[in-house]
Structure 1
């Protein structure tokens, strides 16, 4: 081979090799299409939406599955989803849904009324052969338990014909329509469930805009475009990668370098940096959330005494927490739900930061010399709490001044959920992001005695008040918004006096993203991370 010829071949090989590197290294190269990488603070627990309550799981499942009805892009009002229309009886005990025709599950099987019935019977009936893979916690939270339970509100779900499904309730339920729009009640493929009911959590099959591709635990979940999605022209993205990056600062560095396209869990202090960077944009979500400290009233500790719980409420400096942890991007929480939700009781007065009152109450309760208490703090950032350890340290410092010696304990997010759901904590920092814009979703789910069921308790205070339960059930069964408002206002007064929590803050979570990311709808009050309309336009 002569020198000239070998040189030409060598240059050609270098060109080919360089082209391969460019194609492999670029996220939006033509061979890969439009790929969006979303950086987040923790991994998903399960991809079966009926089995989870955590936002990191539902963030992904929202894009694989659809629900019968959905929330509007701008608010929490309900609009059609897999059901194109519906009507209800005068007493609101019978709801009839007319389903979209021609919709397919991602495994090619038909979506129809029988599929809806199959899913609801799987969730509600513990004797159902496909009631496997977990405890279906959200179903119990929102519908008063399960089939056979005294408070269970759904009497029957039946297929009237192929495209019509009917729900019969034992009692009317005010938030029923808003409830079934929630992502845990998305409809999964009966074919996939029958094949492996427990495997749905690792190999999800819905009707949504993206299909599941792969999951690398504690690293990435990859979804690809559902080319047969029933909403024509969507999704705009070809691939979505959810990347777990527990450290907020490292995640922000990845955003600045272009390694990721979107990040949640932004350190509040970094918001100014985003605003100063022309290549980045910042969205501040409406704060339909609450961060709180829950006292476990089932544990044999001093917090079983109401005076002790009230004392500890007086000894939390919420403004200090907002300043040192949230950089001002939060407001003090008075009640267990934010004032952006109807039914908020504006007349409830918060416990002021008053260490002398706290000491006085501890003395009256017989704990003048204080006591020891173990406090769980999440190690992973959450939208309502960007740094749980720092929040715990502020509280630890304040409580030390009244003689309460706090030991802070942290676990990874999945272990944290497991241990608090089983009631293994003495006290725990936690939070909630609203699911449907109804007061029931905060007060009943988080504080009613019905939801102290383990191993997935929604009420991790294990607070059991008969008077509160009476108000909340009456409010649930009413379809009169004025009546429901009065009942919820009364409920908040009961909760404030009993003090099962220290409501801490309502956060304003920041989402930062590259300027070329379009149609994100990041400000939705329900943390709307559905990516069906999102696009990359460079």
Structure 2
């Protein structure tokens, strides 16, 4: 996933936060029942409080520490029960009543109940966009804001919680199922405070936190009092950060790790040809793009933005870096999402047309710009630096001089979110399978400074998004989103690049993994047969 906020100071990482005996010494637990799963990924998390970030490396870990009221089905985005075993929705779609599981405890021994749910939502509603960026994006602001969709959250009894909304919100259940609205221990939040809780996570999930070594590894272990019998199957999971794609693949080939994501498409064949390994495809629900910050010259000029779209050869990028595991992007959301406008043709690669538009905009002699390249591999961007180099050449062909710039990942996200990049490579993995989660979250004025890094806004489009959130007729919602995509295509705040099929590599003996399109995988059913 991915857009984001800074994750704080790495020097404050906490060890042994839940009185467990962990660490990431794989050899120490070789004889235990479930063993240890070593999961290699392209970057470190920025936080272990999922409500504090919008960054996908965080959710890979927190998906296994926390749980939400409702969740997504295995391998898809339909809603199924989790901490709530049932719910009722009023006829006017303004009241949601959830009936909670009993006998569930947080990892610190605190009871899970309706009060815990209320305290989590009160905490988020009392915050701000810097502290809880995704709450702002999904629920229209915070307590006291005109657009805030949640009127109240109250405990009717110990195991019944009632949400009242100010207006209907069609994707409300899907929003609640997202990782960043998982329920944390109120006791732990009070003990640590917002900043320290990021390094001392306490949820109800199958694994509990052990240790975080910044830019190296995060270790979680089985929660013995987990409320679902027989899970998790592994004793411990170690998330190793290996930013270099080749080094991550080599670790898998050498048997140093059991599972690795962010596999380069060009390396897929090497895994498929190895009898000791297996290649796993994640369902595609993402978009990679070049964002153009519209508050910075010359990208405040629509003609320049359109010229950028014509100047970049996205098919060449896909052919070079995706090895057939991607399709060219036209719109800011993938065709797999309902409401996709397939009548929009998009911008053809046409350097001469780009030059004409630059001339018309008053930049016939070109201009100089910074092109920000992602420092970590992501599902929608296997190698940000090399993609930027290919773009740099395309832009030079139309007279634009692009200096490639990069930063450490958390800094990159933080500065880009503040509008400090001319143009930046980024992308998004959908969180709930709804068009709102792509279009409104990434390009609406409500989310400027949180997930809308381009700072683009359009009043007509905003009205379309709010109406699409409010109506419950999905066909009507789809038409509204299709209309919004026409505006986005014309205004061109992005150069949409690709929708990829993300790849994972695993040892042959790994089973039980069902890769989720959101990019956050529940590992409680995973086993590794090492014989």
Distance (whole Å) between structure 2 residues aligned to residue 232 and residue 368 of structure 1? 68
Counterpart residue number, 2:9: none
Counterpart residue number, 1:38: 39
Counterpart residue number, 2:4: none
Counterpart residue number, 1:421: 417
Could you tell me whether the CA contact under 8 Å between 2:34 and 2:527 is conserved in 1? Answer: no
Counterpart residue number, 1:297: 294
Counterpart residue number, 2:440: 444
The Cα of 1:29 is off from its aligned counterpart by 1.9
Distance (whole Å) between structure 1 residues aligned to residue 372 and residue 258 of structure 2? 32
Distance (whole Å) between structure 1 residues aligned to residue 287 and residue 32 of structure 2? 43
Distance (whole Å) between structure 1 residues aligned to residue 381 and residue 148 of structure 2? 33
Could you tell me whether the CA contact under 8 Å between 2:32 and 2:235 is conserved in 1? Answer: no
Counterpart residue number, 2:188: 192
Counterpart residue number, 1:21: none
Distance (whole Å) between structure 2 residues aligned to residue 525 and residue 74 of structure 1? 7
Distance (whole Å) between structure 1 residues aligned to residue 34 and residue 303 of structure 2? 61
Counterpart residue number, 1:520: 513
Task: Indicate which of 511, 526, 530 corresponds to 2:522.
Answer: 530
Q: Mark the CA change 1:267 to 1:430 in structure 2 (over 3 Å): closer, same or farther.
A: same
Distance (whole Å) between structure 2 residues aligned to residue 388 and residue 496 of structure 1? 24
Counterpart residue number, 1:61: 62
Counterpart residue number, 1:389: 385
The Cα of 1:537 is off from its aligned counterpart by 2.0
Distance (whole Å) between structure 2 residues aligned to residue 25 and residue 67 of structure 1? 30
Q: Mark the CA change 1:368 to 1:27 in structure 2 (over 3 Å): closer, same or farther.
A: farther
Distance (whole Å) between structure 1 residues aligned to residue 92 and residue 478 of structure 2? 20
Post-superposition CA distance 1:483-534 (Å, at most 9, x none): 1000000000000000000000001111000011111112x32224110111
Could you tell me whether the CA contact under 8 Å between 2:260 and 2:504 is conserved in 1? Answer: yes
Counterpart residue number, 2:403: 407
The Cα of 1:286 is off from its aligned counterpart by 1.6
Distance (whole Å) between structure 2 residues aligned to residue 445 and residue 317 of structure 1? 27
**Any residues of structure 2 matched to 1:328-347 within 5 Å, and which?**
328-347=324-343
Task: Indicate which of 492, 495, 499 corresponds to 2:488.
Answer: 495
Question: Which SS does the other structure have where 2:299 is aligned?
Answer: helix
Q: Between Structure 1 and Structure 2, whose CA radius of gyration is higher?
A: 1
Unaligned runs of 5+ in 1: 1-23
Distance (whole Å) between structure 2 residues aligned to residue 78 and residue 532 of structure 1? 19
Distance (whole Å) between structure 2 residues aligned to residue 533 and residue 31 of structure 1? 16
Counterpart residue number, 2:352: 356
Q: TM-score, normalized by length of structure 2?
A: 0.93
The Cα of 1:328 is off from its aligned counterpart by 2.2
Question: Which SS does the other structure have where 2:91 is aligned?
Answer: coil
Does 2:102 align with 1:101? Answer: yes
Q: Mark the CA change 1:25 to 1:501 in structure 2 (over 3 Å): closer, same or farther.
A: closer
Post-superposition CA distance 1:79-109 (Å, at most 9, x none): 0000000010001010000000110011001
Distance (whole Å) between structure 2 residues aligned to residue 141 and residue 400 of structure 1? 36
Does 2:284 align with 1:283? Answer: no
Question: Which SS does the other structure have where 1:304 is aligned?
Answer: coil
Question: Which SS does the other structure have where 2:413 is aligned?
Answer: helix
Could you tell me whether the CA contact under 8 Å between 2:34 and 2:233 is conserved in 1? Answer: no
**Any residues of structure 2 matched to 1:453-464 within 5 Å, and which?**
454=449, 457-464=450-457
Counterpart residue number, 1:432: 428
**Any residues of structure 2 matched to 1:44-55 within 5 Å, and which?**
44-55=45-56
The Cα of 1:476 is off from its aligned counterpart by 0.6
Distance (whole Å) between structure 1 residues aligned to residue 34 and residue 393 of structure 2? 52
User: 1 or 2 for the larger relative contact order (CA 8 Å, sep ≥6)?
Assistant: 2
Does 2:263 align with 1:266? Answer: yes
Tell me how many residue pairs correspond in the alignment.
505
Q: Mark the CA change 1:277 to 1:360 in structure 2 (over 3 Å): closer, same or farther.
A: same
Does 2:215 align with 1:221? Answer: no
**Any residues of structure 2 matched to 1:306-321 within 5 Å, and which?**
306-321=302-317
Q: TM-score, normalized by length of structure 1?
A: 0.92
Question: Which SS does the other structure have where 1:109 is aligned?
Answer: coil
Could you tell me whether the CA contact under 8 Å between 2:93 and 2:168 is conserved in 1? Answer: yes
Distance (whole Å) between structure 2 residues aligned to residue 460 and residue 511 of structure 1? 28
Counterpart residue number, 2:463: 470
Could you tell me whether the CA contact under 8 Å between 1:222 and 1:240 is conserved in 2? Answer: yes
Aligned CA RMSD, in angstroms, stands at 1.3
